[in-house]
Chain A
Amino acid sequence: MTLTGIAEFIASFFGLPGSSSVWIVAVLAAAILLGFMLLTVLILIYVLRKLLGKIQARLGPTRTGPKGIFQTAADALKLLIKEDTIPVKADRRVFIVAPILVFVPAYLVYVVVPFGEGNHFIAKDLNIGLLYIVAVSSINVIGVVLAGWASENKYSLLGGMRSAAQLISYEVPQALAVLGPVMLAESLSMQDIVKAQGEGLFSWFIFRSLPLLGFIVFLVASMAEINHVPFDLPEGESELVAGFNVEYSGMRFAFFMLAEFAASFTICAIAATLFLGGWHSPIRGFLDNGWWTVFWFFLKSSALVCLLMWIRATYPRVRVDQLMEFGWKLMIPLALFNVLVVGLYVALGKGG
């Protein structure tokens, strides 16, 4: 049963006019995505703690439930019932708005992620899909900066300043890296980009034109965008206590956590969509339809998630000046070079 069918049923059940079914579909889709987001975050945190434990020769959580699987649920419950403090000197209005500004963009990105083949597995295939992702995810910078400022705490202010510089610098290579697949697929719609990679493993955009470069630039820049570990300067525990979210507790802190983990799933999903063939199977025509496409999609994105966790366990944090130099002197030139090569590839391919 499709979402539209359910919506029409609900509309007729409550005696609403037929035109309202569009809105019911929207609300249902939003609720499903929210539930899905919470679920991915729960699983992600558990897997992260287990995997980090294995890599560091520890056990990870073991006590809550069999093999500790209820640990994240317990933590989430603790966060929800914890007292929600607002510092006396903090700017109340901004302090309250900031976590929302971080959380909402992370949630909105899910709208255009294609989980599988066809229109059932994507909330809305916008014709400016990729541009939408870039636009929406650029809003969360504001939330982080405001959180740092509003807390009225020197550490969090430093964290906010750092994140402003970092997020703005790495948005450029990220957007440029995204251009490669866009030029190859000649579309910004996520489903079109996936469809352009349907010819098996070697038609994936990671292997087309300039192999690997665009993918690596995108992944590294995105890691910087979501404050993932080698680039977690805005919150670096050992130097800034917890950076921009020192003063947050309870619900509001949970919002930051949720946004962070949701974002680390979405960038993996987007990287899989843009460069690893999305929901296509690696072999042309092999199990490449229906629910199998969902399976392939989640296989690819979880592989990338695990890669990120591995990186998290491996690399030490970079310094601020190293971060800036790396961004401006290496990432942006590389991203521009990638755009140039892909452009030449597409132009020459068309010419003959």
Chain B
Amino acid sequence: MDYFLFSVAAIIAVVSAVLVIVQRNPMHSALYLIITLLCIAVLYLQLSAQFVAAVQVIVYAGAIMVLFLFVLMLLDQENPIDTPSTLRYQNPVAAVMGLLLLVELLFLSARAQPPAVLTSGAPGSSPGFPGSVESVAESMFTRYLFPFELTSVLLLIGMVGVIVLAKRKL
């Protein structure tokens, strides 16, 4: 059953990821990206990372994708100017690079001799609900407090930068 769920979510995720790339209309790309992100959230749930799954939906679906849609509406890309690319070799090169990377990654991870821990199924749920909000919060606010503070500073810098960039008159 788990395997079935995983395969469905993974296949939908990859297919809609491909559709994100090949769509002409950026609005449709955004729609398929949303599907990919939701499928990935399902996979997170399977990895017993409930908190990260919730954060994925809240941040990606609730904030990032809305930002994308908002900007796309603002730029009014309904009639994308279909100028021929100035860099003609770009598409084939990109395809080759992408495929090469994929083959390389698959080859390496298939050839590697992983320790037995990795090839067996997921270890049973360990004590203290891994992935529950409490346990994530505990490690985030104790061991990883400094990176946590750094991300908050990063967000502040990002906010200031966005306001400077996007506001016409300060």
Contact = CB atoms under 8 A, between A and B. Distances in A.
Contact of B62 (A19, A132, A138): A138
B27 A91 contact: yes
Contacts of B63: 138, 168, 171
Contacts of A171: 62-63
Contacts of B50: 126-128, 131
A219 interface: no
B66 A94 contact: no
B17 interface: no
A135 interface: yes
Contacts of B31: 93-94, 97, 146
Contacts of B72: 149
B62 A145 contact: no
A272 interface: no
Please classify the interface of chain A as helix (H, G, I), strand (E, B), loop, or mixed, using the class held by over half of its residues: helix
Interface in B73-122: 73-74, 78
B69 interface: yes
Interface string B106-143: 00000000000000000000000100110000000000
A42 to B, nearest CB: 30
A230 interface: no
Given A142-B34, A146-B31, A149-B27, A131 B54 contact: yes
B6 interface: no
A89 B57 CA distance: 31
A339 interface: no
Nearest to A22: B1
A132 B58 CA distance: 9
A274 interface: no
Interface stretch (A4-12, A157-165, A253-261): A157-165
Contacts of B132: 127-128
Interface residues of A, number: 31
A135 B61 CA distance: 8
Contacts of A94: 27-28, 31
Interface string A160-182: 11001101100100000000000
A139 interface: yes
A93 B51 contact: no
Nearest to B45: A128
Interface in B10-65: 25, 27-28, 31, 34, 50-51, 54, 57-58, 61-63, 65
A242 to B, nearest CB: 18
A142 B65 contact: yes
A136 B58 CA distance: 8
A141 interface: yes
B62 to A, nearest CB: 3
B70 interface: yes
A323 interface: no
B54 A139 contact: no
Nearest to B73: A149
A188 interface: yes
B69 A136 contact: no
Given A127-B132, A161-B73, A142 B66 contact: yes
A131 B51 contact: yes
Contact of B61 (A97, A126, A142, A161): A142
A340 interface: no
30 contacts: A91-B27, A93-B28, A94-B27, A126-B50, A127-B129, A127-B132, A128-B50, A128-B132, A135-B61, A138-B57, A138-B61, A138-B63, A139-B61, A139-B62, A141-B62, A141-B66, A142-B65, A142-B69, A145-B70, A146-B27, A146-B69, A148-B73, A152-B78, A161-B74, A164-B69, A164-B70, A168-B62, A168-B67, A171-B62, A188-B133
* Top 9 A-B pairs, shortest CB-CB distance: A138-B62, A135-B57, A131-B54, A135-B54, A164-B70, A135-B58, A128-B50, A145-B69, A139-B61
Given A164-B69, A164-B70, A168-B67, 12 more contacts: A94-B31, A97-B31, A131-B50, A131-B58, A134-B58, A135-B57, A138-B62, A141-B66, A142-B65, A142-B69, A157-B73, A167-B66
